[in-house]
């Protein structure tokens, strides 16, 4: 303990003694309490022996009371109540055996507990109150008036409360909280941190004008994207700057704190209800196991590694062809999870000998297969390479998994595998068929997880749009009506990990992607978020669909019946089993064509393996 806390210990000794004497005075309504205390002399040393160790265990003597918050108040209350409970048990059950308490007034225990809480808590609160007065008198937390921006906080909940505290305790921010808005009608007229809740989003423009608001901060980390979009649009119409705090996934990921105010981003506009993960289910198959992630340096693979690491596997094996990507994720995980055993391995899933050697050496128990070529136009230009990776790379990893007895195998698939028009989609459909066949052979659990686009992945439209906006435009969209399903990478990965826990073997899980988003609207949102007006500052041009692209993607094929699972955001697609022998004979022919590199013949053969594939 520091010297300051030793003083607190001495003060607590005195205050507990005062509480004991005062409790007898209150109980017997007299200041002449010696005649009542003398026969019950044991009570004072008893409460000293009980309360002080409990206070210490609760960290009461390790806190800085001038920064007292709700957590500190709760700690004092809990420690005091526990002390009273222990004292009651000792007095009512323990001391009678020693014949020490004939006629002891039991109400003294309750009175002493209340007085102790009042005195101990009051002493500490006085330090917090003194600091508050000193700040007000000295103006130490005030920044120059000309640099202070008046802030309207949208969201009168825990996050809003925290934001206001941050503004008031950190003068360097130069922000002055003025009022709250909240869509909950029950909060209207309430006061939080001495600031009024003035209404909901319908009142935003009026409040901005009446209170001279310079900045609106959206303090709702779990709000869906639709709400963020509407509030941001209201702020744009009111001609006021808008900022937000991070979404729930950023906060849980540990990259940022809830108090980090930043610009509204595209991910905020596409937020959905937070994914709920069954920690026991997921931890049960990941915790303490050897987990392998292929494509570990990619967008999905690296996020899989981050989230898997939080469940404390025995070992996390990172497999990727890109040395740079592998180095980056290995370095990041090493810093964030220093106790985790990592094995970064450079290799190609197309190399069967390398894959077999990797599995024989590392003996993984859980495999997430994310390695794939995914960029549609690039795959159309490199058909043989895509088939070698997406089809035969998957076959290699599945075969090696079966040989070493992997307990759970998860294939990452895509909505482009449904009625594919691209080579990429067709190859991923073949991978789905291979996984289904492997599941039928056993003995491990093999499942497939299918979902749509993810924001910010390599080769996606969002980085391209940002690059075009930075260059002054134009932003190029293939077609005004083209739509895609979108999901954030952390959200998709959370659902992948959860879906894998639901699998019994052979399932094709499909993530609930919400409503499809028009790419043209996505472009307009990005332009506005960058501070420009679409069509005026930055032009949007339409270039026509590229080879292999569809206007709209699908999540289920016509012969796949969607079924609900125990998780609201995960569906299962019931589908017929294909003949494995026929599939593998067709793949043997396809493999020979890959060696020849004949793109037209490869497309034709893909059409035979995947009859629903429309060859572009």
* pLDDT 10s digits, 81-92: 888 888 777 777
Instruction: Say if residue 4's pLDDT is above 60.
Output: no
For the stretch 375-424, pLDDT in tens is 888 999 999 999 999 999 999 999 999 999 999 999 999 989 999 999 99
Compute the mean pLDDT over every residue in the chain, rounded to the nearest whole number. 82
Please, what are the domains in the chain? 3-138 (no CATH), 145-269 (3.40.50.720), 279-455+486-513+558-609 (3.40.50.720)
**Residue 138, pLDDT above cutoff 50:** no
For 207-272, the three-class secondary structure string (H helix, E strand, C coil) is: HHHHCCCCEEEECCCCCCHHHHHHHHHHHHHCCCEEEECCCHHHHHCCCCCCCCCEECCHHHHCCC
HSE-up of 16 (CA within 13 Å, CB side)?
21
Higher pLDDT, 383 or 1: 383
Is 211 in contact with 179 (CB distance < 8 Å)?
yes
110-119 average pLDDT score: 80
Whether the upstream peptide bond of residue 443 has omega within 30° of 0, thus cis, is yes
64 pLDDT above the threshold of 70: no
Give the 3-state secondary structure percentages of the chain, helix then strand then coil, rounded to 5.
Answer: 55, 15, 30
Predicted confidence (pLDDT) per residue in 225-252, tens digit = 778 888 888 888 888 888 887 665 454 4
Instruction: Please name which of 216, 224, 227 lies closest in space to residue 263, comparing C-alpha atoms.
Output: 216
Q: Residue 255: is its pLDDT beyond 80?
A: no
Q: Are 155 and 182 in contact (CB under 8 A)?
A: yes
Most confident by average pLDDT, 56-70, 418-432, 528-542: 418-432
Residue 71's pLDDT is: 64
Express each pLDDT in 505-549 by its tens digit.
Answer: 888 999 888 788 888 888 888 887 777 788 888 899 999 888 777
**Six token digits for residue 499:** 């879906």
Task: Extract the runs of DSSP E, i.e. beta strands, from 361-443.
Answer: 366-369, 408-414
pLDDT at 143 over 50: no
Q: Tell me what pLDDT residue 452 has.
A: 84
pLDDT at 103: 62
Query: What pLDDT is recorded for position 453?
Result: 80
Alpha helix (H) residue ranges in 503-570: 519-529
Q: How far is CA 520 from CA 228, 346, 384, 454, 535, in A?
A: 19, 39, 32, 17, 12
% of the chain exceeding 90 in pLDDT: 30
What pLDDT, on a 0 to 100 scale, did the predictor assign at position 258?
A: 47
Determine the Cα–Cα distance for residues 415 and 197; give it in Å rounded to an integer.
44
Q: Give the best-scoring range by mean pLDDT among 26-30, 427-431, 441-445, 534-538.
A: 427-431
The pLDDT-based confidence of 274 (bands split at 50, 70, 90) is: low
Q: What is the CA radius of gyration of the chain?
A: 32
Whole-angstrom Cα distance, residue 27 to residue 21? 10
Whether the pLDDT of residue 140 is over 50: the answer is no
Which of 95-99, 289-293, 375-379 has the least mean pLDDT? 95-99
The model's pLDDT over 441-490, given as tens digits with 9 standing for 90+, comes to 878 899 999 988 887 666 677 788 888 888 888 999 988 888 887 788 88
How confident is the model at residue 462, as a pLDDT? Answer: 79
Mean per-residue pLDDT for 328-350?
96
Determine the pLDDT at residue 433: 93
> How large is the average pLDDT for residues 20-45?
74
Select the more confidently predicted residue: 160 or 65.
Answer: 160
Which band of pLDDT confidence, cut at 50, 70 and 90, is reported for residue 2?
very low
For the cut 60, the answer to whether the pLDDT of residue 136 exceeds it is no
**What is the C-alpha separation between 364 and 111, in angstroms, rounded?**
62
């Amino acid at each position: 303990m520091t010297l300051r806390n030793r003083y607190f210990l001495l003060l607590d000794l005195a205050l507990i003694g005062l509480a004991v004497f005062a409790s007898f005075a209150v109980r017997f309504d007299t200041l002449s309490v010696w005649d009542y205390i003398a026969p019950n002399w044991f009570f004072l040393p008893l409460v000293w022996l009980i309360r002080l160790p409990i206070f210490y265990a609760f960290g009461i003597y390790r806190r800085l009371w001038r920064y007292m918050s709700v957590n500190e108040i709760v700690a004092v209350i809990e420690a005091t109540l526990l002390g009273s409970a222990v004292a009651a048990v000792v007095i009512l059950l323990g001391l009678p055996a020693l014949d020490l308490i004939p006629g002891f007034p039991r109400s003294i225990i309750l009175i002493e507990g209340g007085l102790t809480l009042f005195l101990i808590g009051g002493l500490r609160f006085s330090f917090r109150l003194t600091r508050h007065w000193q700040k007000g008198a000295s103006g130490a937390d005030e920044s120059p008036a000309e640099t202070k921006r008046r802030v309207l906080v949208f969201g009168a909940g825990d996050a809003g409360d925290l934001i206001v505290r941050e503004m008031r305790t950190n003068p360097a921010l130069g922000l002055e909280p003025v009022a709250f808005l909240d869509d909950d009608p029950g909060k209207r007229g309430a006061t939080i941190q001495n600031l009024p809740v003035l209404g909901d989003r319908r009142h935003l423009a009026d409040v901005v004008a009446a209170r001279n608001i310079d900045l609106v901060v959206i303090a709702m980390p779990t709000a869906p994207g639709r709400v963020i979009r509407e509030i941001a649009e209201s702020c744009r119409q009111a001609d006021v700057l808008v900022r937000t705090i991070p979404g729930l996934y950023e906060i849980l990921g540990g990259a940022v704190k809830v108090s980090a105010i930043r610009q509204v981003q595209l991910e905020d506009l596409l937020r959905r209800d937070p994914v709920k993960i069954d920690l026991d289910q997921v931890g049960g198959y990941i915790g303490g196991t050897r987990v392998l992630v292929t494509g570990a340096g990619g967008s999905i693979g690296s996020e899989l590694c981050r989230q898997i690491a939080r469940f404390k596997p025995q070992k996390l094996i990172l497999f990727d062809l890109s040395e740079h990507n592998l180095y980056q994720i290995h370095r990041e995980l090493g810093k964030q999870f220093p106790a985790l055993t990592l094995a970064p391995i450079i290799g190609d899933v197309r190399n069967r000998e390398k894959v077999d050697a990797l599995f024989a050496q590392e003996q993984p128990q859980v495999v997430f297969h994310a390695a794939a070529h995914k960029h549609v136009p690039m795959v159309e230009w490199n058909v043989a390479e895509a088939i070698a990776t997406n089809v035969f790379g998957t076959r290699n990893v599945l075969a090696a998994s079966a040989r070493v007895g992997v307990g759970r195998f998860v294939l990452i698939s895509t909505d482009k595998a449904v009625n594919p028009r691209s080579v990429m989609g067709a190859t991923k459909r073949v991978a789905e068929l291979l996984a289904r066949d492997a599941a039928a052979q056993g003995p491990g659990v093999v499942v497939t997880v299918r979902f749509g686009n993810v924001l910010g992945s390599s080769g996606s439209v969002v980085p391209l749009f940002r690059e075009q906006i930075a260059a002054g435009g134009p932003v190029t969209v293939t077609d005004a009506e083209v739509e895609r399903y979108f999901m954030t990478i952390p959200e998709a990965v959370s659902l992948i990990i959860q879906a894998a826990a639901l699998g019994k073997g052979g399932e094709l899980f499909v993530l609930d992607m919400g409503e499809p988003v028009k790419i043209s609207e996505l472009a307009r949102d990005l332009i506005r978020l960058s501070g420009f007006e679409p069509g005026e500052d930055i032009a949007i041009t339409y270039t026509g669909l590229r080879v292999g692209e569809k206007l709209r993607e699908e999540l289920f094929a016509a012969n796949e019946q969607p079924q609900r699972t125990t998780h609201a955001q995960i569906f299962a697609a019931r589908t017929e089993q294909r003949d494995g022998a026929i599939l593998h004979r067709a793949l043997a022919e396809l493999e020979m064509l890959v060696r020849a590199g004949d793109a037209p013949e490869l497309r034709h053969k893909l059409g035979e393996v995947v009859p629903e594939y429309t060859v572009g």
